[in-house]
Amino acid sequence: MDQIDRRLLDALQHDASLSLDALGDKAGLSRNATWRRLRALEEAGVIRGRVALLDAEKLGLGLAVFIQIKTSRHDPAWLESFARATRDMPEIVAAYRMSGDLDYLVHARVADMAEYDALYQRLIRKVSMNDVSASFVMEELKSTTALPIKEGV
pLDDT in tens, 49-77: 999 999 999 999 999 999 999 998 889 99
The highest-level CATH class for domain 63-136 is alpha beta
Whole-angstrom Cα distance, residue 123 to residue 134? 13
Is pLDDT at 125 greater than 90 in this prediction?
A: yes
- The mean pLDDT of 2-13, rounded to a whole number, is 94
CA 40 to chain centre: 23
**Which amino acid is present at 127?**
V
95 vs 13, 43, 124, CA distance in Å? Answer: 22, 26, 15
Structure confidence at residue 151 as a pLDDT band (50, 70, 90): confident
* pTM of the full structure: 0.87
- Domain formed by 3-43, architecture: Orthogonal Bundle (1.10)
Whole-angstrom Cα distance, residue 25 to residue 23? 5
Parts of the chain belonging to CATH 3.30.70.920: 63-136
Whole-angstrom Cα distance, residue 148 to residue 142? 15
CB 8 within 8 A of CB 39: no
User: Nearest CA to 105 among 84, 131, 76?
Assistant: 131
pLDDT at position 24: 95
Beta strands in 9-103 (DSSP E): 63-70, 92-97
Parts of the chain belonging to CATH 1.10.10.10: 3-43
